[in-house]
Structure 1
Amino acid sequence: MRRLGVSLTPALLTVLVPGLALALAVPTSTAARPDAKPGGPDPFRDWWEAVVDADQNFRGLAAVSGKEAWVTGESLTDGGSARVYRTTDRGDTWVDVSPDGTEDLSFRDVEVNGRVAHVLAIGPGEASRIYRSNDGGASWTEAFRNTDEDAFYDCMAFYGGGARGLAVSDPVDGKLRILSTEDRGRTWSVLPSKGMPPSAGEFGFAASGDCLVTAGRSAFLITGGKRSRVLRSDDRGLTWTATASGIPAGEAAGGFAGAFASPRRGIAVGGDFGDANDTEDTTAYTRDGRTWTGGADLEHVGEDVTFLRGTRYAVATGDYDGSAGSSITTDGGATWRLVSELGYHVIDCAGKVCWAAGSKGRVGRG
């Protein structure tokens, strides 16, 4: 396994390879927009951004704490390797902890519970894989490799404590497929499909790794395509109920990601990758975990969303085809306020600290 140190200083980001020091970028600090209203938590008031690996498109992120975060991506170079980076010092340095043999793979999700980390590679057939590390990324094992050419895994999530987890594939034989683990990700098995509603033409978007999320004993699927729905399971993925999210469906449209502060309080965001500047009806929220109400429109595509504190404050972000920005809600998703024109593919918060990651190896913290 190749290990690569990345050091961020106030003036310069340097990638450190034995015998080589290459300056890549100058970190950027940005405050909230001048017209942003004060009040409530706003990580973009004191935000910095830097390039960790310009060859990577980051769409996987795990904010472990204010000091520790993991990002995963895919190479922008044909035949390049998918990479995993980890920081334990607030983003001052980043270490490449990638598994070996990841050429042509696309890492779209990373989940971390203590020293155990899982990374999901997406794609048809054997391109869909799950790698597992129990030593903070020092070594990896391949815990799952998909052998069904009709399956395409999109997102992964673990329940609290990390013992049980799920992953979701695009429909196989007309139904979304669920993969399950009950031994902290060491082994995975496909669950029976009889408890899944018909879902042909419906799928989860691998935009940020958050089309599948958990809260308490509940799991939620955010979908798009032929239908735009939120599916809920209260029995570890065996049976699911589906409710329309209100976010418009389409060939490349629907809900892209969800976040839940509790099994009753949640937010879904989305848009249309075919027309990213169409930001009408891009959010929805729930107060009971089962019925959904349309929230205010974002001013940018909604690729990801995360709660910042409690059930009221959340942050949404997106950056696709010129539609970019980050917004905050202070009422659980009913209204939104644009706080930065910086947009990312994925965002996650730990305590009062938020991390974000996006195109061309960009990572931000605030």
Structure 2
Amino acid sequence: MNRPTLDLPARLRNGRSMRRLGLVTLTALALTVPPFGATADAAPSGPSGQPAAKAFAGNWKQSVLDPDQNFRGLAAVSRSQAWVSGESLTGGKAKVFRTTDSGKTWKDVTPPGTEGLSFRDVEVNGKVAHVLAIGPGQDSRIYRSTDGGATWAETFRNTDEAAFYDCMAFYPGGQRGLAVSDPVDGKLRILATTDAGRSWKVLPNEGMPASDNEYGFAASGDCLTTVGNTAFLITGGSKSRALRSDDGGLTWTASDNRIPAGESAGGFAGDFADQRHGIAVGGDFADPTDVQDTASYTTDGRTWTGGISLTHVGEDVSFLGGPWTAVAAGDYRGSTGTSLTTDGGRTWTRVSDQGYHAIECLPGGVCWAAGRKGAVARG
């Protein structure tokens, strides 16, 4: 199928629905972003009276690595190290970049032979890095590096034309990891590794609830996330749910994540401060300016409270080290912005008109972000 114009969602490259979102209009990004209001010294209390994590202080330092890249994969390793992954806006290589000096310089560490691929997720555990390419059939692949991206091994290539992998996540320590595919035979498919990503296998689906036309969105690589021994999957499509597994992805329980469902709508990403406190964000890529009911939260890891609105589409969300303070971001067809919560997701304050596809924060108020036209930022 011919490659679409630059503003079409990546999913349309394969003749499927809009949920794969990806290629966006090439509007230049501002080089500075308004600060986030709350300073790094502020430590507001959460709903329980416990101190909240330090809020993100803003003061973005932004650069453009490659204007041909659309970045949706992001791994914030530390204050000084981060990785980003993307896709070409003109059909070239899907690229991976790494910084070890707080974003002052970035090194291109792209695996060979990535023309036409779409790297939507990058995960780093110690010295081991993985990138996930999404797409139907053999477009879905996983690459692994143990030397900072100097060399890569392809450790998984999907051979099932019915499968389309979206997101990837590793458990603490990096030995065990999961990846999720759109439904195959009526159920979401889970791929798993138990050897730090050297090999992968498809798990049995008996413990997965039925999920026809329900899927994870490859918006930021965070439709699948782990905390402790628990994995969470945020979905949209025919159903908008949060699925939870406490046994390595073998069995899952599902609950409504309270973000309205639709062919191109639902939950796009989630993050969890612990196994009880989590936030989901999303929206509708067919109507991104409809920003009602774009966020929800849980305080028990199983039931969700919705009816919460950002002022922009929610493509990603990240806690800052505690259960109360988190940052959400989005940037899709005019629905752009960044918001901050200091009460666990109950209320949000728009703190910037600049948005990103992916955002990841660290304890202490440091956040990394990545987005369209090769933009990366640290603040």
For normalisation by structure 1, the TM-score amounts to 0.90
Secondary structure of residue in 2 paired with 1:360: helix
In the other structure, the counterpart of 1:364 is 377
Q: Considering fraction of residues, name the structure with more strand.
A: 1
Q: C-alpha distance in 2, partners of 1:32/1:282?
A: 23
In the other structure, the counterpart of 1:296 is 308
Q: C-alpha distance in 2, partners of 1:295/1:334?
A: 9
Q: C-alpha distance in 2, partners of 1:202/1:145?
A: 23
Q: C-alpha distance in 2, partners of 1:26/1:260?
A: 29
Q: C-alpha distance in 1, partners of 2:167/2:280?
A: 15
Indicate if the aligned counterparts of 2:271 and 2:279 stay in contact, CA closer than 8 A: yes
Q: C-alpha distance in 1, partners of 2:321/2:348?
A: 15
Shift of 1:42: 3.8
1:201 to 1:32, Cα distance in 2 relative to 1, 3 A: same
Secondary structure of residue in 1 paired with 2:373: helix
Q: Please, which of 267, 275, 280 is the counterpart of residue 255 of structure 1?
A: 267
Letter in 2 for 1:339: V
- Which ranges of structure 1 fall in alignment gaps of 5 or more residues? 1-24
Q: Please, which of 27, 32, 35 is the counterpart of residue 29 of structure 1?
A: 32
1:164 aligns with 2:173: no
Indicate if the aligned counterparts of 1:223 and 1:255 stay in contact, CA closer than 8 A: yes
Shift of 1:92: 0.3
Q: Share of identical aligned residues, percent? A: 68
Secondary structure of residue in 2 paired with 1:93: coil
What pairs with 1:17-96 in structure 2 (closer than 5 Å)?
28-32=31-35, 36=37, 39-40=42-43, 41-78=54-91, 80-96=92-108
State the 4+ residue runs in structure 1 displaced beyond 4 angstroms.
36-40
In the other structure, the counterpart of 2:166 is 154
Deviations 1:129-170 (A, max 9, x none): 000001111100000000000000000000000000000000
Secondary structure of residue in 1 paired with 2:90: coil
Secondary structure of residue in 2 paired with 1:288: coil
Shift of 1:351: 2.5
What pairs with 1:1-366 in structure 2 (closer than 5 Å)?
28-32=31-35, 36=37, 39-40=42-43, 41-78=54-91, 80-294=92-306, 296-352=308-364, 353-366=366-379
Indicate if the aligned counterparts of 1:27 and 1:48 stay in contact, CA closer than 8 A: no
User: Larger relative contact order (C-alpha < 8 A, sep ≥ 6)?
Assistant: 2
Shift of 1:43: 2.8
Matched pairs, number = 339
Letter in 1 for 2:308: A
Shift of 1:194: 0.5
For normalisation by structure 2, the TM-score amounts to 0.87
- Which ranges of structure 2 fall in alignment gaps of 5 or more residues? 1-27, 44-53
